[in-house]
Chain A
Amino acid sequence: GESVGLHLPTLSVQEGDNSIINCAYSNSASDYFIWYKQESGKGPQFIIDIRSNMDKRQGQRVTVLLNKTVKHLSLQIAATQPGDSAVYFCAENFQGAQKLVFGQGTRLTINP
């Protein structure tokens, strides 16, 4: 269940519409990025990753866009389904760093 005080950005979309979830990263030296999906009560699940030598990568129903100029990452989900309801968060890493840095996440809710 939800915890009181959990203040995540929320995105509500109609079932069947496309969803765009955004992430701003802070380190201009970051060169590897991952999107995760976390359903309630479960661990984060890998969705898609992208390296800084690319600006777009596509998976099944998902596309990640990377804009290094403005340090912005987005996840696009096509034809959003009820099963896409979750918290989505991005993670970044730069070469030589020993850990990923995770964003706070965005809660995606699907309206029937």
Chain B
Amino acid sequence: DVKVTQSSRYLVKRTGEKVFLECVQDMDHENMFWYRQDPGLGLRLIYFSYDVKMKEKGDIPEGYSVSREKKERFSLILESASTNQTSMYLCASSAGTIQETQYFGPGTRLLVL
């Protein structure tokens, strides 16, 4: 079974803090993704990566950056957290081409005060 893990289930941070969300997958997948999920807005893609040290902007990259130093790990960074970044953050991975199923982690619910 594919396993995607995220470092935290719940996080509470203060405005202006730098926040790191970590994601690890154990299936040697090439592609990794970060989404945020908000009521009424569905899943929105923040960034994705199709190889080590490669990254591509998704639909809503503003206020976020990512890092992929190793194939199995994809980090999402909030340089200066803001209250509008309070959300559920989901990491996913997929093998090979984009036309492969994306497998999701359990999510991190982030609250920015």
Contacts and interface: CB of A to CB of B under 8 A. Distances in A.
Contacts of B74: none
Given A45-B104, A98-B98, A100-B102, A89 B40 contact: no
Interface residues of B, number: 21
Nearest to A95: B99
Contact of A93 (B40, B56, B98, B105): B98
Interface residues of A, number: 27
Contact of B99 (A32, A44, A46, A102): A32
B90 A43 contact: yes
B58 A43 contact: no
Greatest chain A CB density within 10 A among B33, B39, B43, B58 is at B43
A33 B61 CA distance: 25
User: Among A45, A49, A91, A98, which residue has the most Cβ atoms of chain B within 10 A?
Assistant: A98
A36 B90 CA distance: 14
Nearest to A45: B104
Given A32-B99, A44-B104, 7 more contacts: A6-B39, A6-B40, A44-B90, A93-B99, A98-B48, A99-B45, A104-B40
Interface of A: 3, 5-7, 31-32, 34, 36, 41-46, 49, 89, 91, 93, 95, 97-100, 102-105
